[in-house]
Homo-oligomer: A and B are copies of this chain.
Amino acid sequence: MTNYIKPQTLKGFRDFLPEDALKRQYIVEKVKETFKLFGFEPLETPTLEYASLLLGKYGTEADKLVYTFKDKGEREIGLRFDQTVPTARILAQYQKQLPRFFRRYQIQNVFRAEKPQKGRYREFTQCDIDIFGSSNPLSDAEIIACTYFSFKNIGFKNVYIALNDREALIQTLKPFSSEKVSVFSIIQSMDKLGKLTQEQVIQELIEKGLDKVTADSSLRKLLSIGPSQKISEITQLAVKLGVNSTDLPFSSTLARGLDYYTGAIFEVIVEDYGSGSLGGGGRYDALIEKLGGVNIPAVGIAFGFDRIVEAAEQLGYISLTKTGTQVLVTVFSSSQLAQSIEITIVLRRSKIPTEVYIEPTDKLDKQLKYADKKGIPYAVIIGPEEVAKNVVKLKDLAKRKEIIVKEEKLPEVILSVYPEIYRR
Protein backbone atom coordinates (compact mmCIF):
# COMPACT_ATOMS: atom_id res chain seq x y z
CA MET A 1 0.00 0.00 0.00
CA THR A 2 2.60 2.47 -1.07
CA ASN A 3 0.85 4.34 -3.85
CA TYR A 4 -2.01 6.72 -3.05
CA ILE A 5 -5.16 6.46 -5.06
CA LYS A 6 -5.41 8.78 -8.03
CA PRO A 7 -8.81 10.38 -7.67
CA GLN A 8 -10.00 9.75 -11.22
CA THR A 9 -12.42 7.55 -13.13
CA LEU A 10 -11.94 6.22 -16.64
CA LYS A 11 -13.47 8.40 -19.34
CA GLY A 12 -16.99 7.32 -20.20
CA PHE A 13 -17.56 5.80 -16.75
CA ARG A 14 -19.58 7.34 -13.97
CA ASP A 15 -19.80 7.41 -10.21
CA PHE A 16 -23.27 7.76 -8.80
CA LEU A 17 -23.20 9.57 -5.47
CA PRO A 18 -26.31 9.09 -3.31
CA GLU A 19 -28.32 11.94 -4.84
CA ASP A 20 -28.04 10.46 -8.33
CA ALA A 21 -28.08 6.83 -7.24
CA LEU A 22 -31.40 7.49 -5.47
CA LYS A 23 -32.94 8.95 -8.62
CA ARG A 24 -31.87 5.97 -10.66
CA GLN A 25 -33.13 3.55 -8.03
CA TYR A 26 -36.47 5.33 -7.99
CA ILE A 27 -36.91 4.79 -11.74
CA VAL A 28 -35.80 1.16 -11.48
CA GLU A 29 -38.32 0.54 -8.70
CA LYS A 30 -41.15 2.17 -10.60
CA VAL A 31 -40.60 0.18 -13.79
CA LYS A 32 -40.02 -3.05 -11.87
CA GLU A 33 -43.34 -2.55 -10.08
CA THR A 34 -45.10 -2.47 -13.43
CA PHE A 35 -43.05 -5.30 -14.95
CA LYS A 36 -44.02 -7.51 -12.03
CA LEU A 37 -47.69 -6.55 -12.30
CA PHE A 38 -47.61 -7.70 -15.92
CA GLY A 39 -46.05 -11.04 -14.98
CA PHE A 40 -42.49 -10.29 -16.11
CA GLU A 41 -39.70 -11.90 -14.16
CA PRO A 42 -36.08 -11.00 -13.56
CA LEU A 43 -33.16 -12.61 -15.36
CA GLU A 44 -29.49 -11.98 -14.63
CA THR A 45 -26.54 -13.08 -16.72
CA PRO A 46 -22.82 -12.72 -15.94
CA THR A 47 -20.87 -9.57 -16.73
CA LEU A 48 -18.22 -11.68 -18.46
CA GLU A 49 -18.89 -14.18 -21.26
CA TYR A 50 -16.75 -16.05 -23.74
CA ALA A 51 -15.81 -13.46 -26.36
CA SER A 52 -16.97 -15.89 -29.05
CA LEU A 53 -20.51 -15.50 -27.73
CA LEU A 54 -20.47 -11.78 -28.37
CA LEU A 55 -18.32 -11.32 -31.46
CA GLY A 56 -19.95 -11.62 -34.86
CA LYS A 57 -23.40 -11.05 -33.37
CA TYR A 58 -23.83 -7.31 -33.66
CA GLY A 59 -22.18 -6.63 -37.03
CA THR A 60 -18.60 -5.82 -37.98
CA GLU A 61 -18.72 -2.21 -36.83
CA ALA A 62 -20.16 -3.13 -33.47
CA ASP A 63 -17.57 -5.87 -32.94
CA LYS A 64 -14.98 -3.13 -32.53
CA LEU A 65 -16.97 -1.76 -29.61
CA VAL A 66 -17.04 -5.01 -27.65
CA TYR A 67 -14.66 -4.96 -24.68
CA THR A 68 -12.57 -8.11 -25.04
CA PHE A 69 -9.46 -9.40 -23.31
CA LYS A 70 -7.54 -12.55 -22.50
CA ASP A 71 -7.94 -13.77 -18.94
CA LYS A 72 -5.22 -15.46 -16.91
CA GLY A 73 -6.26 -18.84 -18.30
CA GLU A 74 -5.75 -17.47 -21.85
CA ARG A 75 -9.48 -17.55 -22.52
CA GLU A 76 -10.88 -14.83 -24.77
CA ILE A 77 -13.35 -12.93 -22.61
CA GLY A 78 -15.90 -10.27 -23.47
CA LEU A 79 -17.88 -7.83 -21.36
CA ARG A 80 -21.67 -7.77 -21.66
CA PHE A 81 -22.51 -5.72 -24.75
CA ASP A 82 -26.29 -6.00 -24.67
CA GLN A 83 -28.91 -8.20 -23.05
CA THR A 84 -30.34 -9.85 -26.16
CA VAL A 85 -27.42 -12.09 -27.08
CA PRO A 86 -26.95 -13.42 -23.52
CA THR A 87 -30.69 -14.06 -23.39
CA ALA A 88 -30.46 -15.98 -26.66
CA ARG A 89 -27.81 -18.09 -24.92
CA ILE A 90 -30.14 -18.60 -21.95
CA LEU A 91 -32.94 -19.71 -24.27
CA ALA A 92 -30.66 -22.26 -25.93
CA GLN A 93 -29.04 -23.43 -22.69
CA TYR A 94 -32.08 -23.85 -20.43
CA GLN A 95 -34.75 -24.79 -22.97
CA LYS A 96 -36.37 -27.42 -20.79
CA GLN A 97 -36.37 -25.39 -17.60
CA LEU A 98 -37.91 -22.24 -19.05
CA PRO A 99 -41.66 -21.79 -19.38
CA ARG A 100 -43.12 -21.97 -22.86
CA PHE A 101 -43.84 -18.25 -22.74
CA PHE A 102 -40.83 -16.64 -21.15
CA ARG A 103 -41.66 -13.12 -19.99
CA ARG A 104 -38.48 -11.70 -18.65
CA TYR A 105 -37.11 -8.33 -17.71
CA GLN A 106 -33.44 -7.60 -17.40
CA ILE A 107 -31.83 -4.50 -15.91
CA GLN A 108 -28.07 -4.73 -16.05
CA ASN A 109 -25.10 -2.68 -17.13
CA VAL A 110 -23.54 -3.08 -20.56
CA PHE A 111 -20.17 -1.98 -21.90
CA ARG A 112 -19.28 -0.26 -25.18
CA ALA A 113 -15.78 0.84 -26.14
CA GLU A 114 -17.19 3.96 -27.79
CA LYS A 115 -15.71 7.41 -28.06
CA PRO A 116 -17.11 9.04 -24.93
CA GLN A 117 -19.24 12.09 -25.68
CA LYS A 118 -22.12 13.97 -24.12
CA GLY A 119 -24.81 11.48 -23.18
CA ARG A 120 -22.75 8.49 -24.39
CA TYR A 121 -21.10 6.28 -21.85
CA ARG A 122 -18.90 3.22 -21.92
CA GLU A 123 -20.89 1.63 -19.11
CA PHE A 124 -24.60 2.20 -18.93
CA THR A 125 -27.77 0.50 -17.77
CA GLN A 126 -30.00 -1.38 -20.16
CA CYS A 127 -33.57 -2.18 -19.24
CA ASP A 128 -35.44 -4.64 -21.45
CA ILE A 129 -38.71 -6.54 -21.37
CA ASP A 130 -39.41 -9.32 -23.83
CA ILE A 131 -41.85 -12.16 -24.34
CA PHE A 132 -40.31 -15.24 -25.93
CA GLY A 133 -42.28 -18.12 -27.37
CA SER A 134 -45.37 -16.54 -28.88
CA SER A 135 -46.14 -14.83 -32.16
CA ASN A 136 -49.66 -14.00 -31.07
CA PRO A 137 -50.46 -10.26 -31.36
CA LEU A 138 -51.55 -10.38 -27.72
CA SER A 139 -47.89 -10.63 -26.77
CA ASP A 140 -47.07 -7.50 -28.79
CA ALA A 141 -49.96 -5.77 -27.04
CA GLU A 142 -48.73 -6.91 -23.62
CA ILE A 143 -45.28 -5.41 -24.30
CA ILE A 144 -46.87 -2.15 -25.43
CA ALA A 145 -49.26 -1.97 -22.47
CA CYS A 146 -46.56 -2.83 -19.94
CA THR A 147 -44.28 -0.16 -21.42
CA TYR A 148 -47.07 2.41 -21.38
CA PHE A 149 -47.99 1.75 -17.76
CA SER A 150 -44.34 1.72 -16.71
CA PHE A 151 -44.02 5.27 -17.98
CA LYS A 152 -47.33 6.22 -16.38
CA ASN A 153 -46.13 4.70 -13.10
CA ILE A 154 -43.07 6.96 -13.17
CA GLY A 155 -45.45 9.89 -13.56
CA PHE A 156 -45.18 10.77 -17.26
CA LYS A 157 -48.39 12.41 -18.41
CA ASN A 158 -48.22 12.50 -22.20
CA VAL A 159 -46.87 9.16 -23.28
CA TYR A 160 -47.30 7.98 -26.86
CA ILE A 161 -46.26 4.72 -28.36
CA ALA A 162 -45.91 5.11 -32.11
CA LEU A 163 -46.49 1.91 -34.09
CA ASN A 164 -45.61 0.68 -37.51
CA ASP A 165 -45.37 -2.62 -39.36
CA ARG A 166 -41.85 -3.28 -40.54
CA GLU A 167 -43.00 -5.87 -43.07
CA ALA A 168 -45.64 -3.55 -44.55
CA LEU A 169 -43.02 -0.80 -44.70
CA ILE A 170 -40.75 -2.97 -46.81
CA GLN A 171 -43.58 -4.14 -49.06
CA THR A 172 -44.75 -0.56 -49.62
CA LEU A 173 -41.33 0.78 -50.55
CA LYS A 174 -39.95 -2.18 -52.47
CA PRO A 175 -41.51 -1.09 -55.80
CA PHE A 176 -39.56 2.18 -55.54
CA SER A 177 -36.20 0.58 -54.89
CA SER A 178 -33.61 -0.08 -57.56
CA GLU A 179 -30.30 -1.83 -57.90
CA LYS A 180 -28.63 1.38 -56.82
CA VAL A 181 -31.00 2.35 -54.02
CA SER A 182 -32.07 -0.54 -51.83
CA VAL A 183 -35.33 -0.60 -49.99
CA PHE A 184 -33.41 -0.35 -46.68
CA SER A 185 -31.69 2.79 -47.90
CA ILE A 186 -35.07 4.33 -48.76
CA ILE A 187 -36.38 3.30 -45.32
CA GLN A 188 -33.38 4.96 -43.70
CA SER A 189 -34.22 8.27 -45.36
CA MET A 190 -37.94 8.00 -44.56
CA ASP A 191 -37.08 7.43 -40.91
CA LYS A 192 -35.69 10.96 -40.81
CA LEU A 193 -39.11 12.58 -41.37
CA GLY A 194 -39.75 14.69 -38.32
CA LYS A 195 -36.12 15.71 -38.09
CA LEU A 196 -36.01 16.62 -41.80
CA THR A 197 -38.77 18.22 -43.90
CA GLN A 198 -40.46 16.25 -46.68
CA GLU A 199 -38.49 18.28 -49.23
CA GLN A 200 -35.21 17.43 -47.54
CA VAL A 201 -36.05 13.74 -47.46
CA ILE A 202 -36.92 13.78 -51.17
CA GLN A 203 -33.68 15.64 -51.85
CA GLU A 204 -31.76 12.96 -49.94
CA LEU A 205 -33.44 10.17 -51.94
CA ILE A 206 -32.55 11.93 -55.18
CA GLU A 207 -28.96 12.27 -54.02
CA LYS A 208 -28.97 8.57 -53.26
CA GLY A 209 -29.97 7.92 -56.88
CA LEU A 210 -33.76 7.89 -57.21
CA ASP A 211 -35.26 10.08 -59.92
CA LYS A 212 -37.48 12.91 -58.74
CA VAL A 213 -40.78 11.25 -59.74
CA THR A 214 -39.95 8.01 -57.95
CA ALA A 215 -38.72 9.85 -54.84
CA ASP A 216 -41.87 11.98 -54.77
CA SER A 217 -44.28 9.15 -55.23
CA SER A 218 -42.51 6.85 -52.77
CA LEU A 219 -43.00 9.44 -50.07
CA ARG A 220 -46.60 10.17 -51.07
CA LYS A 221 -47.37 6.47 -51.15
CA LEU A 222 -45.84 5.91 -47.71
CA LEU A 223 -47.70 8.83 -46.13
CA SER A 224 -50.99 7.66 -47.61
CA ILE A 225 -51.02 4.18 -46.15
CA GLY A 226 -52.83 3.28 -42.96
CA PRO A 227 -52.11 0.63 -40.36
CA SER A 228 -51.88 -2.97 -41.54
CA GLN A 229 -54.35 -5.50 -40.21
CA LYS A 230 -51.69 -6.76 -37.81
CA ILE A 231 -51.11 -3.29 -36.39
CA SER A 232 -54.85 -2.66 -36.02
CA GLU A 233 -55.23 -5.90 -34.13
CA ILE A 234 -52.31 -5.14 -31.80
CA THR A 235 -53.64 -1.64 -31.21
CA GLN A 236 -57.11 -2.95 -30.34
CA LEU A 237 -55.66 -5.47 -27.90
CA ALA A 238 -53.46 -2.83 -26.27
CA VAL A 239 -56.54 -0.63 -25.83
CA LYS A 240 -58.36 -3.54 -24.20
CA LEU A 241 -55.36 -3.86 -21.89
CA GLY A 242 -56.03 -0.29 -20.76
CA VAL A 243 -53.94 1.91 -23.05
CA ASN A 244 -55.67 5.09 -24.18
CA SER A 245 -56.35 4.64 -27.91
CA THR A 246 -55.23 8.17 -28.76
CA ASP A 247 -51.86 7.37 -27.20
CA LEU A 248 -51.09 4.75 -29.86
CA PRO A 249 -50.49 6.74 -33.04
CA PHE A 250 -49.77 4.84 -36.24
CA SER A 251 -46.66 6.15 -37.97
CA SER A 252 -46.10 4.82 -41.48
CA THR A 253 -42.60 6.33 -41.57
CA LEU A 254 -41.31 4.86 -38.32
CA ALA A 255 -38.49 2.48 -39.24
CA ARG A 256 -36.24 1.74 -36.20
CA GLY A 257 -32.64 1.14 -37.11
CA LEU A 258 -32.14 -2.54 -36.45
CA ASP A 259 -32.52 -4.92 -39.35
CA TYR A 260 -33.75 -7.79 -37.29
CA TYR A 261 -37.35 -6.67 -36.76
CA THR A 262 -39.88 -8.79 -38.59
CA GLY A 263 -43.27 -7.36 -37.62
CA ALA A 264 -44.61 -4.59 -35.44
CA ILE A 265 -42.13 -1.93 -34.38
CA PHE A 266 -42.72 0.72 -31.76
CA GLU A 267 -41.18 3.75 -30.17
CA VAL A 268 -41.94 5.62 -26.95
CA ILE A 269 -42.41 9.36 -27.22
CA VAL A 270 -42.94 11.73 -24.31
CA GLU A 271 -44.32 14.96 -25.68
CA ASP A 272 -42.86 17.31 -23.10
CA TYR A 273 -39.35 15.92 -23.50
CA GLY A 274 -37.65 17.27 -26.55
CA SER A 275 -34.70 14.99 -27.05
CA GLY A 276 -36.12 12.06 -28.99
CA SER A 277 -37.49 8.67 -28.16
CA LEU A 278 -37.32 7.12 -24.69
CA GLY A 279 -37.47 3.53 -25.83
CA GLY A 280 -38.07 1.33 -28.80
CA GLY A 281 -38.61 -2.23 -29.84
CA GLY A 282 -40.62 -4.61 -31.89
CA ARG A 283 -41.10 -8.16 -33.02
CA TYR A 284 -38.04 -10.18 -34.03
CA ASP A 285 -39.18 -13.70 -34.82
CA ALA A 286 -36.04 -14.84 -36.64
CA LEU A 287 -33.24 -13.53 -34.43
CA ILE A 288 -33.18 -16.13 -31.67
CA GLU A 289 -32.95 -18.93 -34.22
CA LYS A 290 -30.17 -17.11 -36.05
CA LEU A 291 -28.24 -16.69 -32.82
CA GLY A 292 -28.97 -19.78 -30.86
CA GLY A 293 -30.39 -22.27 -33.31
CA VAL A 294 -33.69 -22.61 -31.48
CA ASN A 295 -36.77 -21.35 -33.26
CA ILE A 296 -38.41 -18.98 -30.77
CA PRO A 297 -40.53 -16.00 -31.80
CA ALA A 298 -39.95 -12.88 -29.72
CA VAL A 299 -41.22 -9.39 -29.10
CA GLY A 300 -39.78 -6.80 -26.75
CA ILE A 301 -38.69 -3.29 -26.01
CA ALA A 302 -35.60 -1.57 -24.66
CA PHE A 303 -36.07 1.37 -22.30
CA GLY A 304 -33.64 4.26 -22.74
CA PHE A 305 -32.75 4.24 -19.09
CA ASP A 306 -30.45 7.27 -18.85
CA ARG A 307 -32.81 9.38 -20.93
CA ILE A 308 -35.80 8.31 -18.87
CA VAL A 309 -34.03 9.38 -15.68
CA GLU A 310 -33.15 12.69 -17.33
CA ALA A 311 -36.68 13.27 -18.65
CA ALA A 312 -38.34 12.31 -15.35
CA GLU A 313 -36.06 14.69 -13.50
CA GLN A 314 -36.60 17.57 -15.95
CA LEU A 315 -40.36 17.13 -15.80
CA GLY A 316 -40.39 17.03 -12.00
CA TYR A 317 -41.48 13.42 -11.53
CA ILE A 318 -38.60 12.63 -9.20
CA SER A 319 -38.70 14.32 -5.83
CA LEU A 320 -35.70 16.55 -5.52
CA THR A 321 -34.62 15.56 -2.03
CA LYS A 322 -30.90 14.94 -1.96
CA THR A 323 -31.24 12.09 0.49
CA GLY A 324 -33.64 9.31 1.40
CA THR A 325 -33.19 10.18 5.07
CA GLN A 326 -36.16 12.12 6.43
CA VAL A 327 -35.17 13.07 9.94
CA LEU A 328 -31.97 13.94 11.75
CA VAL A 329 -32.30 13.46 15.49
CA THR A 330 -29.88 15.93 17.03
CA VAL A 331 -28.08 15.31 20.30
CA PHE A 332 -28.27 18.12 22.84
CA SER A 333 -25.33 16.90 24.91
CA SER A 334 -23.58 13.66 25.78
CA SER A 335 -25.74 13.30 28.87
CA GLN A 336 -28.88 13.62 26.74
CA LEU A 337 -27.76 11.04 24.21
CA ALA A 338 -30.05 8.32 25.58
CA GLN A 339 -33.15 10.44 24.87
CA SER A 340 -32.05 11.11 21.30
CA ILE A 341 -31.42 7.44 20.68
CA GLU A 342 -34.83 6.60 22.12
CA ILE A 343 -36.53 9.00 19.70
CA THR A 344 -34.45 7.57 16.86
CA ILE A 345 -35.64 4.02 17.40
CA VAL A 346 -39.26 5.14 17.82
CA LEU A 347 -39.07 6.83 14.42
CA ARG A 348 -37.35 3.87 12.79
CA ARG A 349 -39.98 1.54 14.20
CA SER A 350 -42.54 3.74 12.45
CA LYS A 351 -40.61 3.16 9.21
CA ILE A 352 -39.29 6.71 9.04
CA PRO A 353 -35.70 6.80 7.69
CA THR A 354 -33.82 8.44 10.52
CA GLU A 355 -30.24 9.38 11.27
CA VAL A 356 -28.99 10.12 14.76
CA TYR A 357 -26.17 12.66 14.96
CA ILE A 358 -23.07 10.71 15.91
CA GLU A 359 -20.85 13.35 17.54
CA PRO A 360 -22.78 14.30 20.68
CA THR A 361 -20.31 17.02 21.63
CA ASP A 362 -20.91 19.14 18.51
CA LYS A 363 -22.95 22.32 18.95
CA LEU A 364 -26.60 22.15 17.96
CA ASP A 365 -26.05 24.75 15.28
CA LYS A 366 -23.39 22.61 13.63
CA GLN A 367 -25.73 19.63 13.73
CA LEU A 368 -28.53 21.56 12.03
CA LYS A 369 -26.15 22.82 9.36
CA TYR A 370 -25.08 19.25 8.75
CA ALA A 371 -28.72 18.21 8.19
CA ASP A 372 -29.26 21.18 5.93
CA LYS A 373 -26.20 20.52 3.80
CA LYS A 374 -27.14 16.89 3.49
CA GLY A 375 -30.70 17.83 2.47
CA ILE A 376 -32.44 16.03 5.35
CA PRO A 377 -35.83 17.78 5.50
CA TYR A 378 -36.57 17.56 9.24
CA ALA A 379 -34.60 17.76 12.46
CA VAL A 380 -35.71 16.74 15.93
CA ILE A 381 -34.34 18.71 18.89
CA ILE A 382 -34.58 17.39 22.41
CA GLY A 383 -32.92 19.32 25.22
CA PRO A 384 -33.49 19.23 28.99
CA GLU A 385 -36.46 21.59 28.66
CA GLU A 386 -38.17 19.31 26.18
CA VAL A 387 -37.36 16.20 28.21
CA ALA A 388 -38.94 17.78 31.29
CA LYS A 389 -42.15 18.43 29.36
CA ASN A 390 -42.10 15.14 27.46
CA VAL A 391 -42.04 16.96 24.14
CA VAL A 392 -39.65 17.45 21.24
CA LYS A 393 -39.05 20.25 18.78
CA LEU A 394 -39.65 19.29 15.16
CA LYS A 395 -37.90 21.62 12.79
CA ASP A 396 -38.70 21.93 9.09
CA LEU A 397 -35.30 22.84 7.72
CA ALA A 398 -36.45 24.14 4.34
CA LYS A 399 -39.20 26.36 5.77
CA ARG A 400 -37.14 27.19 8.88
CA LYS A 401 -40.22 26.61 11.02
CA GLU A 402 -40.43 24.57 14.18
CA ILE A 403 -43.30 23.11 16.14
CA ILE A 404 -43.51 21.49 19.56
CA VAL A 405 -44.79 17.92 19.49
CA LYS A 406 -45.56 15.47 22.27
CA GLU A 407 -42.93 12.77 22.22
CA GLU A 408 -45.33 9.89 21.67
CA LYS A 409 -47.09 11.76 18.87
CA LEU A 410 -43.93 12.44 16.86
CA PRO A 411 -44.09 9.62 14.28
CA GLU A 412 -47.77 10.27 13.71
CA VAL A 413 -47.17 13.99 13.20
CA ILE A 414 -44.30 13.40 10.82
CA LEU A 415 -46.30 10.88 8.84
CA SER A 416 -49.46 13.00 8.66
CA VAL A 417 -48.28 16.59 8.45
CA TYR A 418 -45.55 15.56 6.06
CA PRO A 419 -47.01 12.87 3.87
CA GLU A 420 -44.38 13.56 1.23
CA ILE A 421 -42.21 11.46 3.48
CA TYR A 422 -43.56 8.53 1.53
CA ARG A 423 -42.61 9.98 -1.81
CA ARG A 424 -39.52 7.96 -2.07
Contact = CB atoms under 8 A, between A and B. Distances in A.
B341 A3 contact: no
A370 B99 contact: yes
Contacts of A113: 71-72
A335 B70 CA distance: 57
Nearest to A149: B348
A8 B241 contact: no
B7 A92 contact: yes
B370 A103 contact: no
A240 B171 CA distance: 74
B358 A138 contact: yes
How many monomers of this protein are in the complex?
2
A404 interface: no
A14 B53 contact: no
Interface stretch (A38-46, A203-211, A312-320, A412-420): A38-46
B6 A52 contact: yes
Interface in A184-234: none
Given A7-B93, A47-B111, A138-B358, A99 B374 contact: yes
Contacts of A39: 325, 353-356
A170 interface: no
A24 B108 CA distance: 15
Given A18-B42, A47-B109, A111-B47, A348 B37 contact: yes
Contact of A355 (B92, B97, B103, B352): B103
Nearest to A45: B15
A130 interface: no
Nearest to A371: B99
A330 interface: no
Nearest to A14: B46
A22 B42 contact: yes
Interface string A1-41: 11111111110011111100110110000000000111101
A36 B324 contact: yes
B355 A136 contact: no
Contacts of A240: 338, 341-342, 345
A100 interface: yes
Contacts of A79: 47
Interface stretch (A248-256, A265-273, A285-293, A395-403): A285-293
A32 to B, nearest CB: 9
A323 interface: yes
17 contacts: A5-B85, A9-B89, A15-B43, A15-B45, A15-B90, A15-B93, A18-B43, A18-B104, A37-B351, A37-B352, A41-B323, A46-B123, A48-B123, A72-B113, A101-B359, A240-B338, A241-B345
